[in-house]
Chain A
Amino acid sequence: MMKPRLKFAKVKEFLISKFIFINGILSIIVLGLILAFLVYNALQFLSTYPILDFLTGTRWAPTSEPNRFGIVPLLTGSGVVAFGAIIIAVPLGIGSAVYIGELAPKAVREILKPIIEVLATIPSVVIGFVGIMILAPFIRDLFELNTGLTALAGSIMLAFMALPTIISISEDAINAVPDKYRFASLALGATNWQKTYKTVVPAASSGIFASVMLGLGRVVGETMTVLMVTGNSPRIVFSWLQPVRTITASIASEMGQTVQGGLHFSALFAIGLILFVITFVINLIADKFITRIRDVE
């Protein structure tokens, strides 16, 4: 009497575990599918457009006649904005993380942390909007430009969007430094500050580096804010006071005007693939350094 029921229960357990397994590996499937769709469409594009002209072309003019799909201006655009953002975000982020992790009294820490979480939740389109309304006119007047919608505006706004990532992960790294390091440093006669920058920060440096890489990944992939505040001009410039256009902004702003399956359409998947590869590599590097802190623990 019991036997068939037991068997049924066993089969049920087995099926459930298989179903859970499929959900468990969904992330691999999705990543694979994303890559497959990007590659498939990128290949469509490269079957018509020479890969060399794509990778080294200095003009991005998808709708002009003849059309040009050189990615260089978009790469420099993304690069200039991201570089500026990281320059701003690194001192602010690490400074705040050290302050929160090492100096701030507990009560202050409990106030600062939620404030930084709020920063992480503000939608990028809202930050872009504030950038257009407040920051861009300010930059325009300050540097006497024709427009304040420049790489600088993008860098500043993106810096703040990268901060929650940089601060929270740097702070984790600082907290992971064992207290005996601190005591040893103080016992040798170091001041609190010497202890912080000669012992604690170096000990946490790999995690801090990982936080900066993750912040960089966020910055490079950010779309709406840069689309709104960087002026959308696909030219090769190495100045923060001129309009630029990033890879992400090109995809977001041009996809709506393309013919599905057309050359321009597949070109946007091709630059999407480049973007995917760049952020993927950045995240892999970050992951390598983040694991090292766990080893220290």
Chain B
Amino acid sequence: MMNKRYITQKFFYFLLLFTALIVVAFVFGIVIYLIIKGAGALSWEFITQKPSGGMREGGIGPVIVGTLYLVIGTLLFSLPTGVLAAIYLNEYAKQNRFTKMVRLSIINMAGVPSVVFGLFGLGFFVLFLNFGRSILTGSLTLALLILPVIITATEEALKAVPDAYRHASFALGASKWQTIIRVVLPQAVPGIITGVVLGVGRAAGETAPILFTAAAFFQPNMPNSIFDQVMALPYHLYVLVTQVSHAPDDKKWGTALVLLILVLFFSVIGTAIRTRARLRRQRRHDI
């Protein structure tokens, strides 16, 4: 009797471990395969030169630069609004139905499919506001997409600041805004940076929102203004794989690997800052 129960347990434990191993195998499979296939294509020329020969030759220099422009634009638009929105929710908003609605809308905004953001960017920024297909439009669209990420991360960081800090500041005669800007926000910086870096990393890898708002099929020259279209890594990979006939495989793998490295770079930095902040907070608790 006992034995049978423990054999069942062993069996199911193994099954659970197996499911986790499948997930791990998938992740390692993709990452390692991309490195093996793509590493050969990586070279200084590949990441700096312009694409040429109908994108079958040359490198992806302007494509990387285009993605960086979009990332910077997204950062500029999403950081202030996201942080202020979180300040509103954590420092100003009362606990009532309206605030509940705001929170619900943030959750739902996070669930809106990225291609719908693309449609909205096209309808609102490109056509209605007449910004055209441009870095500006793409950045604004991506900024909206990652806004929930930044708001959530910032709010969490603000929540972790003990109320004693606020009370002490008020007791010294500081106003609410002075308290927020000089006492609360500095404490929350690591959490905010983490949210922003993770959000921006997500923006760098997104294709659907920039399809109709910013991405150029082929634009070998560097953009001159924020109203220019740009090439971007995710869209370029999509184009190479599905639109350019007989594009050499090593260009595809190379582009995919560069995109993966870029996105993982953001992710690692974001996670590292979070871990460091957490350790420091624990240490402070220990004292």
A residues in contact (CB < 8 Å) with B? 9, 12-13, 16-17, 19-21, 23-28, 30-31, 33-34, 37-38, 40-41, 91-92, 95-96, 98-100, 103-104, 112, 114-119, 121-130, 132-134, 160, 163, 167, 191-194, 197, 214, 217, 220-224, 228, 248, 251-252, 255-256, 260, 268-269, 272, 275-276, 279-280, 282-284, 286-287
The A-contacting residues of B in range 1-48, CB under 8 angstroms, are 5-6, 8-9, 12-13, 15-20, 22-24, 26-28, 30-31, 33-34
A96 to B264, CA, bound (A): 23
Q: How far is the CB of B2 from chain A (nearest CB, A)?
A: 9
Check B20 against A96 for contact (C-beta < 8 Å): yes
Residue ID in chain A nearest B31 by CB atoms: A118
Residue in A17, A37, A118, A282 whose CB lies within 8 Å of B120:
A37
Residue in A30, A123, A214, A286 whose CB lies within 8 Å of B260:
A123
Residue in A92, A119, A222 whose CB lies within 8 Å of B19:
A92
Residue in B22, B151, B208, B271 whose CB lies within 8 Å of A224:
B208
Check A194 against B111 for contact (C-beta < 8 Å): no
B242 at the A/B interface (Cβ < 8 Å)? yes
Check B108 against A194 for contact (C-beta < 8 Å): no
Q: Mark B78-105, 1 if CB is under 8 A from A, else 0.
A: 0011001101110011000000011011
Q: How far is the CB of A177 from chain B (nearest CB, A)?
A: 16
Most chain A CB inside 10 Å of its own CB: which residue of B6, B105, B111: B111
Give the segment of B160-168, B186-194, B198-206 that binds chain A. B198-206
CB-CB under 8 A from B123, the residues of chain A are 37-38, 40-41, 269
A284 to B152, CA, bound (A): 18
Check A160 against B26 for contact (C-beta < 8 Å): yes
Q: How far is the CB of A109 from chain B (nearest CB, A)?
A: 10
Q: How far is the CB of B232 from chain A (nearest CB, A)?
A: 10
Check A224 against B8 for contact (C-beta < 8 Å): no
Check A287 against B107 for contact (C-beta < 8 Å): yes
Residue ID in chain A nearest B175 by CB atoms: A13
Q: How far is the CB of B194 from chain A (nearest CB, A)?
A: 12
Check B260 against A223 for contact (C-beta < 8 Å): no
Most chain A CB inside 10 Å of its own CB: which residue of B16, B80, B147: B16
The size bracket of the interface on B is 35 or more
Residue ID in chain A nearest B81 by CB atoms: A23
CB-CB under 8 A from B12, the residues of chain A are 193, 197
B residues in contact (CB < 8 Å) with A? 5-6, 8-9, 12-13, 15-20, 22-24, 26-28, 30-31, 33-34, 80-81, 84-85, 87-89, 92-93, 101-102, 104-109, 111-120, 122-124, 127-128, 144, 147-148, 151, 175-177, 201-202, 204-208, 211-212, 234-235, 237-238, 241-242, 249, 252, 256, 259-260, 263-264, 266-267, 271
Given A26-B147, A260-B127: A121 touches B105 (CB 8 Å cut-off): no
CB-CB under 8 A from A112, the residues of chain B are 20, 24
Check B112 against A23 for contact (C-beta < 8 Å): no
Check B252 against A284 for contact (C-beta < 8 Å): no
CB-CB under 8 A from B113, the residues of chain A are 220-223, 248, 275-276, 279
CB-CB under 8 A from A251, the residues of chain B are 115, 118-119
Q: How far is the CB of A176 from chain B (nearest CB, A)?
A: 17
Check B92 against A228 for contact (C-beta < 8 Å): no
Residue in A116, A126, A134 whose CB lies within 8 Å of B205:
A126
CB-CB under 8 A from A163, the residues of chain B are 23
CB-CB under 8 A from A114, the residues of chain B are 271
6 contacts between A and B (CB under 8 A): A19-B84, A92-B19, A95-B16, A103-B16, A115-B23, A275-B116
Q: How far is the CB of B235 from chain A (nearest CB, A)?
A: 8
Check B176 against A25 for contact (C-beta < 8 Å): no
Q: How far is the CB of A31 from chain B (nearest CB, A)?
A: 5
Check A34 against B120 for contact (C-beta < 8 Å): yes
A167 to B124, CA, bound (A): 36
Most chain B CB inside 10 Å of its own CB: which residue of A9, A27, A217, A283: A27
A43 to B177, CA, bound (A): 45
Q: Top 10 closest A-B pairs, CB basis?
A: A221-B113, A24-B88, A123-B205, A95-B19, A23-B84, A193-B9, A283-B111, A99-B16, A223-B208, A37-B123
Check B207 against A123 for contact (C-beta < 8 Å): yes
Given A9-B175, A16-B177, A27-B85: A130 touches B9 (CB 8 Å cut-off): no
A129 to B235, CA, bound (A): 12
Q: How far is the CB of B277 from chain A (nearest CB, A)?
A: 16
Residue in A12, A268, A283 whose CB lies within 8 Å of B119:
A268
Residue ID in chain A nearest B252 by CB atoms: A129
Check A194 against B5 for contact (C-beta < 8 Å): yes
Apart from A27-B148, A125-B259, what are 6 other A-B pairs with CB-CB below 8 Å?
A27-B151, A114-B271, A124-B208, A194-B5, A280-B112, A287-B107
CB-CB under 8 A from B211, the residues of chain A are 252, 255-256
Q: How far is the CB of B259 from chain A (nearest CB, A)?
A: 6
Residue ID in chain A nearest B198 by CB atoms: A121
A124 to B235, CA, bound (A): 11
Residue ID in chain A nearest B23 by CB atoms: A96
Check B84 against A121 for contact (C-beta < 8 Å): no
